[in-house]
Every structure is written in C-alpha cells, then in structure tokens.
Amino acid sequence: MNWVETVWIGMCAASLALGAIHLFVWFKQKTGYAHLLFFALAVSATAFGAFELAMMRSLSPASYATALRWAHVPLALFVLSIVWFVYFHFGAGKLWLALAACGLRLAGLALNFVTGVNVNFREVSSMDPVTFWGGAVVSGPVGVANPWAIVPQMGNLLLVAFVVDAAVTLWRRGGADARRRAAVVGGSLVVCIAAVAGFAALITLGLVHGLTIVMPGVFIVVVAMGYELGWDMIMAAQLATQLRASEQRFRAVVEAVPSAILVVDEQGLITLANQQAEAMFGYPRAELIGQAMDRLIPERFQRPVADRPSPWMAGPQGEAVGTGPDLLARRKDGREFPVEAMLAPLQTGTGAFVLASVLDITERRRLEQATARQRDELAHLSRVAMLGELSGSLAHELNQPLTAILSNAQAAQRFMALSPPRIDKLPEILVDIVKADHRAGSVIQRLRAMLRKEEPTRQAVDLNALVEDSMRLLRSDLLGRHVRAQPDLEAGLPPVVGDRNQLQQVLLNLVLNACDAMDGQATDRRLTVRTRQSDQGRVEVSVSDHGPGIPEADLDRLFDPFVTTKAQGLGLGLTICRSIVQAHGGRLWATHHAPRGATLHCELPAGRVG
C-alpha cells in the first residue's frame, strides 16, 4: 500500500467518523435535520473516496470505467446533500438554482448509466500508470471523453452559482456569525468544487494528461461542513453554560431579595419559592414546591378556581394587588398576617407563570398604627390646649343660657307673687327655661366631646354645619377681639367622612390663627370662612383673614413644627392640623393674597360612611 492509498483510506475513515458523530447527534435531537444531511454528505464522501481509491488501483480500463460509473452515485448524493444543507441550514440560496443544480446532477447520473462507459468517458482505452511524488504509482485512464459530460459539468456550474449566491446572501445578512459561515462554507465549497470540477473537465477533455483527483476536494468540503456544524454545537454548549450561569444569577437574586418570591403555574401550583417565602409562610421549600398557592391564603379570601379568569396572566405589566388593609396571608401554623403582593406574568417556552412577590407588612402596619395613635394623642393635647384659650368664649356660651334660665325663673316667681298671680305666664316661661337648659347642655356636651380622649371615629360630617357650630363657639371670642366673621357657605355641600372633633379642631385652629394674624391692626379685622365643592368630589373649607399676610417663603414652613410667630404657643397647631387633615386623605395649605391677607385651605375628599 502506498501513501496515496493510505491518505485516501484515512480521508474515508475520517468522513465516516464525522458522519457517525452527526448521525448520533441527529438521533439524540431528532430536530437537527442539518446533522442528518451532514451524515448523508459524509457517508457519500466516504463511498466516493472508496470508489476513487478503486479507480486508482484499477489495472484494466473496464474496471476503471465501472468504478467511475458507480462513483457517480455517491457523488450525486454528495451534491444533493450540499445543496439542501446550504438551503435549509443557512436559510439562504435560491430555490430554483438549487433545483436546477440537483436536476442536472441527477440527469448526469442517469446519462452516466446510459451513455458511454460512464458520463466522463465514451470509452477507456488503456490504463496509464502515473507516478506521484514520493514514488507512489496509481493508475490513470486513457480514453475518449463522453460528450454528455457537459451535463454534470453544467450542474457543477449551477452548484457553484447556488453556493456563491447563498454565501453572498449570508454575508449581506450582517452579523459576525453569518459572515463567518458565508466565508467558511461558501469559500471552501466554491474553491473545492471549482478546482476539482475544473481539473476534471480539463482531464476529461484531454487537455491535461493525468489523473482526476476529486476526493481531497470532497474531503475539504466535509471538513468545512463538519467544522460549521461543530461550531454550532460549541455555541450551543456555551449557551447552555451561560444559561446555567444566568439561572444561577437569577436564583441568587431571587434568594437575595427581601420579599418572598413565588412562581405559580397556570394550575395555581407553586413551582419556585425562595428562602424568604420559606421563612414568611413557615413551610420548608420542599413542601412549598408543588403545593397550591391557595394554601397560603386564608379560606375566606379564596375564590373558586372557576371565578379566576386571571386577566393578569395575559397582562403585559406587573400589577399590585391588595395594597389596602385587606390582603392577608396565612402561615403554616394558621397565623394570618398582612401582606402586600405584586403579581407579574411570566411567559416562557414551557407555559405561562405568575411571579408573585410578597412583602410581610406586619411591622409597617404596627408602625402606622403607632404613628396614628401618637398623632391622635397629640391632636387631643393640642385640642385641650386650644380649649384653654377658648375658655372665655365657652364660659360666655354657657353663661347666656344660664342668664336666661335665672331671669326666667325669677320672673316666674314674681308673676306668682302678684295678686292675683299671673299663672298664664308660666307655660311659656317653662318652655323657655327648658330650651335654655338644652342650650347649656349642648355647650357642655360639645366641650366634653372635645376634651374626651377617644379613638377617632368615622362619620359623615357636614362641613357647613361644622362651620356654623364653630362660629357659635367662637362668637364671644371674635366679639371680644373685634373680629367680624363672614361665613360664605355653599349650599348642598356633600359630606366628608371623618372624626368630627378633629375636623372641628382644625377649623377652630384656623379661625383663631386668622384672628391672631389681625391682632396688630386697629381696623378692618374681618375674616371669611368659605366652603366650596371643588372638582373631583372634593370639598374645601378655607379661612381668609385681612392681616398682613404670609411671606412667600414661609407659606410651607408654616406647617413645620415649632414655627410660631406668637409669644405663647408651641407652634404645633398647624403641624397637628396638617397631620389631621392628611390622615383624612386631605390637604392643608396656605396662600397669600396681595395686598393683604392670607388664606388657609383645607381640602377633604367627599364621601359617605360605608
């Protein structure tokens, strides 16, 4: 065996091995038809190599011709494999070119069996030993060329045209990957096919005397294609590694976030849970996975599965659910706790999932309640302090009905002492005494309500009535301070929901502040208390004075604690007012109006209880 034979056998073996590998890959994946095509390519290359080896070892023209005739069978299969590999695997190339190239190749194959001794030779007359470099001797044919050889030659030309066109398309498609493929596959194919086919044509036409050597070219194509497919497999492996790394990162992130993360499938079963979820719900992870999400929700909040069309499954955006005070979750031990949850749809190749991020807000709730309690206590203290300021006014309000009662009673005594006694006067006097007594009682009741320290209530409050009542309470104080108060109340105002005492405290505070603002001036002490229905279901009550006004810079600083312009006073009044108003879902702000005067606006949402 000389070295040429050894090399041919090596190339055949290598092609077969590459083909076997890809057959195995195809078998594993089933979807990789490219691997199957490559297998066909490699096997046909192997078979072709074997026939070519036989040709080179032929001692008679007849055996040479027969070997060449049969070599065309794997060659045709090889060409077909190339065409469809390029066409399908790269998604490039023109279909008509592919069909034409294949058609001519198959026509050539048919002519191979019906004309001459094969499609290359009409007849092979003798064998002519050719001595290779290194002393290896192989047989070369001497004969007459078959004119039908033009058909497979044209097929080769179309094949080159098809591959060049596909390579150009690939190259144009941009991308480093596409260009690499275009260069490797297109380049190798074109060079090899052109060289081999050209050389073969030259020999067949008798222009060159020598040997047709095709197998190295075929082998290079096999190697190039194998490299190409192998590259894909390397890329896939890299991708898998990246995917694993990315999934590890995802896991790390999921574990690191402070909220419990649960991924739920369309059946409502938990498919992923992080350690915060374990800690929050008290289940070990193994128990959480595969269990129904419903187990984490108190029964009374669960809805039958049929009632859950899950619109958020299809929604493009995450959605916060139950940020209100009403969303509760349940631990394994049955204890319920308030949560805030965010749901986000996850569309994956294996189905739709929902990612739920759950935050335990027990502590926040507790802090909110503590803050509210402190605010209410502070509001109460401030209210008591304000009633101290108003004690003169209140005493006067109480004094009036007491005066009426005393004078009525003494008038009755005198009417009875007359002779004859004026009994006819008594009924109306008694009616008036009862009326005055009720009046005194209501003053005391109001006083007690404001002094009482109790949980704020939520009731419908008519702001107009509140203003009128407050002005009555302040009447004597306003008179004593020579302040003229003008109510400007809009009829038919919707009620607001809240604590009447706290809202009255705000109003009294605003009116007293307005009076204080005008203390320094001898005349024009007047203030307006206005109620209005503002847009979007909000109600505004505002107090305007005709004092010096508030500098622009102080308009907001006014509400900071311990900011005061008064000799006595902590400067907490407006701070507390604002916190009360905010707790009612409203706003409290100040405006200045040129040339004199300031207005404090209190806007509250209108609403009904329940």
Partner 1 sequence: MDAWAPRVYLVDDDPDVRKAIGRLLESAGLEVASFASAQQFLDGYDRSAPACLVLDLAMPGLNGLELQAALEREASPLPIIFLTGRGDIATSVQAMKHGAADFLTKPVDDAALLAAVHDALATSRSRHRAGQERADLAQRLAALTGRERQVLEGIAAGRLNKQIAAALGTSEKTIKFHRGNLMRKMGARVAADLVKLAERAGLGSTPAP
* Binding span for partner 1 by CB under 8 A among 114-122, 305-313, 327-335, 414-422: 414-422
Stretch that binds partner 1, among 239-247, 303-311, 411-419, 573-581 (CB under 8 A): 411-419
Q: How far is the CB of 413 from partner 1 (least distance, A)?
A: 8
| CB of 421 vs partner 1, minimal distance in Å | 11
Smallest CA-to-CA distance from 49 within 209, 223, 210, 183 is with 223
Which of 418, 423, 465, 609 binds partner 1 (CB under 8 A)? It is 418
- For partner 1, the closer CB: 418 or 609: 418
Q: CA-CA distance, 484 to 245, in Å (whole number)?
A: 77
Q: DSSP for 337-376?
A: EEEEEEEEEEEETTEEEEEEEEEE-HHHHHHHHHHHHHHH
The residue (of 179 and 482) whose beta carbon lies closer to partner 1 is: 482
Stretch that binds partner 1, among 267-275, 339-347, 398-406, 587-595 (CB under 8 A): 398-406
- The reply to whether 392 sits near partner 1 by the rule CB under 8 A is yes
Of 18 and 412, CB closest to partner 1:
412
> Is there binding between residue 410 and partner 1 (CB under 8 A)?
yes
Which residue among 425, 472, 592, 596 contacts partner 1 (CB under 8 A)? 425
Asked if 435 touches partner 1 (CB under 8 A), the answer is yes
Beta carbon of residue 465, minimum distance to partner 1 (angstroms, whole number): 20
Count of residues that interact with partner 1, criterion CB under 8 A? 31
Nearest to 321 by CA among 312, 308, 330: 312
The answer to whether residue 476 forms part of the interface with partner 1 (CB under 8 A) is yes
> Is residue 396 a contact point for partner 1 (CB under 8 A)?
yes
Binding partner 1 (rule: CB under 8 A), the pick from 395, 423, 465, 609 is 395
Residue 90 and residue 180 in contact, taking contact as beta carbons nearer than 8 Å? no
Spatial CB neighbours of 212, under 8 Å, sequence gap ≥ 6: 120, 199, 200, 203, 204
421 is a site residue for partner 1 (CB under 8 A): no
CB 12 within 8 A of CB 216: no
For the CB of residue 568, give the shortest distance to partner 1 in the complex, in Å.
20
Distance separating alpha carbons of residues 301 and 449, to the nearest angstrom: 38
- Residue 403 binds partner 1 (CB under 8 A): yes
The enclosing H or E element of 24 equals helix 3-29
* C-alpha closest to that of 482 among 527, 436, 525: 525
Terminal CA-CA length for the chain: 103
β-bridge partners, 532: 540
Task: Note whether 387 binds partner 1 by CB under 8 A.
Answer: no
Enter the tokens of residue 148. Answer: 């039908």
User: From the CB of 477, what's the least distance to partner 1, in Å?
Assistant: 10
Q: How many CA atoms lie within 13 A of 188 on its CB side?
A: 20
Neighbours of 199 (CB within 10 A): 17
Nearer to partner 1, 131 or 410 (CB): 410
Regarding 415 and contact with partner 1 (CB under 8 A), the answer is yes
| Among 441, 480, 537, 551, contact with partner 1 (rule: CB under 8 A) | 480
Q: Report whether the peptide linkage leading into residue 304 is cis, meaning its omega lies within 30 degrees of zero.
A: no
**Phi, psi angle pair for 119, to nearest 5°:** -70, -15
Work out which of 408, 464, 509, 531 binds partner 1, going by CB under 8 A: 408
436 binds partner 1 (CB under 8 A): yes
Kindly state the smallest distance separating residue 429's Cβ from partner 1, in Å: 7
Cα distance between residue 529 and residue 542, in whole Å: 6
Tokens encoding 254: 């999921």
CA distances from 584 to 34, 323, 502, 503 (A): 70, 18, 10, 9
Contact flag: residue 442 with partner 1 (CB under 8 A):
no
For residues 484-513, which are near partner 1 according to CB under 8 A? 484
Chain contacts with partner 1 (rule: CB under 8 A): 392, 395-396, 399-408, 410-415, 418, 422, 425, 429, 432, 435-436, 439, 476, 479-480, 484
